[in-house]
Amino acid sequence: MAAIYSLYIINKSGGLIYYKDYGSAGRMDTNDTLRVASLWHSMHAISQQLSPVSGCSGIELLQADTFDLHCFQSLTGTKFFAVCEPGTQQIESLLKYIYELYTDYVLKNPFYEIEMPIRCELFDINLTQSVQKDRVALLGQ
């Protein structure tokens, strides 16, 4: 069943501010997730350097043997990327929706310090709800 395996949010300097796992085999410990996030941040930047035409804004989709990685970068440099099953559709719109949730429940939270790890309960609740809804919608198709 097409679904997300995990979700990462990284700030504009490449630091991991949010990580949620939805069912990958083998848990990654915190240090590894931090390393993976900063590695992705650098790869994203390098891919812009290798573009044959100008105006490249970085990797949007990486296709591997056993998973796809979709990345959405906001205008401020915050990156939302999701690891999912190969061929999953509509992850782009899900990532954009998660960006909306981020602006509503994280950025508008007066106690949240920008660029710091996200610890906002409402964000977690709404995120889980939207991912579940997405999963149910896919099951229904």
Partner 1 sequence: MQFFGGSEISPSPPAPTASGNNGHMLYVFNRNGICLLYREWNRPLHTLNAQQDHKLMFGLLFSLKSLTAKMDPTSAEKGNLGVPQLPGQGCSFHSFRTNTYKLSFMETPSGIKIILVTHPRTGDLRESLKYIYNLYVEYVVKNPLYTPGSPIRSELFNTTLDQYVRGIA
Q: How far is the CB of 9 from partner 1 (least distance, A)?
A: 15
Q: How far is the CB of 120 from partner 1 (least distance, A)?
A: 25
**Residue 54 or 76 having the CB closest to partner 1:** 54
**Residue 35 or 108 having the CB closest to partner 1:** 35
Cα 75 from Cα 133, distance rounded (Å): 27
Q: How far is the CB of 59 from partner 1 (least distance, A)?
A: 5
Beta-carbon contacts of 132 under 8 Å, excluding residues fewer than 6 positions away, are none
**Residue 15 or 58 having the CB closest to partner 1:** 58
Cα 37 from Cα 1, distance rounded (Å): 26
